[in-house]
Structure 1
Amino acid sequence: MKPSNTSNFKIKAACLIIAFLVWVYVMIDIDPVDTRELTSVQVKITNIGELNNHNLILSPNQKLEAGVKLKGRRSIIARKIKEGVILQTTIENAKIGENISKIAVNSENDDITYSITPSTLNLNIEENISKSEKIQVYSTGQLAENTIIDSLKLSKDSVTISGPKSLIDKIVRVEAQIDLENSKETLSKWVKLKFLDINGNEISGVFSDFSDILVTVSVKKEKSVPIYADILNDKPNYNMSLLNLSVSPQEIKISGSEGDLEKIEKISTKPISLTKLLQDHSIKVEPNLPENIQSNIKTITVSTDVSSN
């Protein structure tokens, strides 16, 4: 006997009911409605470029974050959290001073409801300014023994910095520091710029047209040599052995290329008139430095306790 149409309908209806109950069970027990709370979610400002076009910028050290509560099916929430919850705000009619801006979720999912705390941000905006500062270079560490700095050169002399007026106004100098690394030869190195306030504290949160600079340290050698007085005997028949000369300092440090220094064992003063020395008893005179040789001692004192006859 063939089953009746009524019997077939009842079987199909029963299957549908069972399927529906299974689906409800799965949704309720296996994938129930759930809530998840996220804290300290970053809030993106969507119109930063527009602010910059009007020479405006966010003040530093502002907290751009909020908490968000998600409610929906557990699997959907888990997938959304894995993708990342993005909060954003657009600052309408931005002005210098305090601005209140509403926070929203980017690409909201209709299967999830969101609750954002706080719902708005109080954002302070200030003028975006720029200025040019001369770069000052400083060295740390030591060069090798008997090696000194000849010159310091920078790839650029100044830098343009920009940012919030409250920060730019604090910057009084820009420094580039290079470590001499016990070097005995010319040293070139890229170093980062530091933006400093009046107390030497580094200021962050500003922008510059470049952040690194090439510093070249040229070096030269130095050594100590004795110095003697070059007396011009313009007093005929004077017995020079009676002078009893005193020279101060008795030796000086000289600097130059290694090859030039190797040729020098001592240095004289520039010529001194014997007559004038006997009259004055003490004379200050420059050292007679060879070409391409330098010294930090600029004057030598030559004295005698003998009077002119």
Structure 2
Amino acid sequence: MFRWLGKNIGTFFLALFLAIGVWVAAVNDSDPDEVLTYPAPIQIEIVGQGTDLLITNTYSKQIELTLRAPRSIWGQLTADDDSVHAILDLSGLSAGEYLLEPQIQISTQPVRIISVSPIEVEIHLEELATRTLPVQLNLTGAPSVGYQAGDLENSVQEATISGPKSLVESVAIVQASFDLSDTRENIDERLTLEILDVENQTVTGINLTPTTTQLIIPISQQGGYRDVAVKVTISGQVANLYRLTNISVFPPVVTTYSADAQLISELPGVVETEILDISGISEDISAHLNLILPENITLIGDQTVLVQASVEAILGSLTISEKHLEVINLDPALTATLSSFTVDVIVSGPLNILETLSPTDLRVIVDVDGLGTGTHQLTPKVEILNSAIQVESILPESVEVILSEVVLATPTAQP
């Protein structure tokens, strides 16, 4: 038997290899390999990052894979979103710059990786740093004349910043800013904290705790000063057919001063302007007017106020009856017959213009451009020379227009 095996061992292995080849060919025919790009980008997973390190650069967060696998395996890969992973292992790395190859893990086999894009990912690691800085207040401007600011209260005295070491070390101050200019009321505001470098530029990419502070500053009026409202005194009537729509004054409140505290306290809460004459005006006017103040009381700041008076024409309406209709763009070969050759037109606008409006100032047309023979319902259009006049309605709203061919008279033969 051993002699038989020795003589036929080559034939045996040849038969085995042929059988395996036939089996592989059969498998490939029924489930052929396909080289395809994985249908969805693979998100890169970061592992092993030290708790004292931060990634400070913008890096590729996903990759594309080209794989070779049997058709049946491709069906499993695409059906299971969790079958393919791309791992970037930062274990044991310290601060620095690295080019790392993603580790591809595929749970469904057999699969062969043909290509990975990108093949390497650039990572910058930087130490995590933390600092605590005092919160500074940047107050600009001053309260209105006659007012003073009291002792301020700031709810946050210190703030903690954390982030990449290079950024944290570049921070010079943490501050909150507020403008006191022209303030008359107590201040109670929540302010956003700012992170600034030595050049007073904002530093971004850093965590800040807390992010806001509450600022409280009492504002009080100094002795001898008093705020009073301004009342405009007018005389006369605007032009006929016009009405006064508004009187405005700037500033509406002024600050007065007197060395006599009792005199300033007895001052009424309102001071009047010089008289503004609006007699016969038909357009807006403005004027700088003085204020009428008691003796020994002075005005702080500008010595006049700006007063503006606004007027507008009184609106009304007018009906123009039996306005003749004009047919335009009529084909010379056609004739037009209208159900009504006149309409009533109701218009509106300023009364002073309506009073002078005449029927010749408007035109009512019926446009038959492009229309052929037959009966048509058309809407008249009104053309008005004065743009201040608006058309409210046309009665009737539509007219019937019958277009027919022009009948030429047959000449009579002479004997």
| Bigger Rg, which one | 2
Richer in strand (by share)? 2
Q: Which has the higher contact order (CA 8 A, sep 6+)?
A: 1
Q: Normalization by structure 2: what TM-score?
A: 0.38
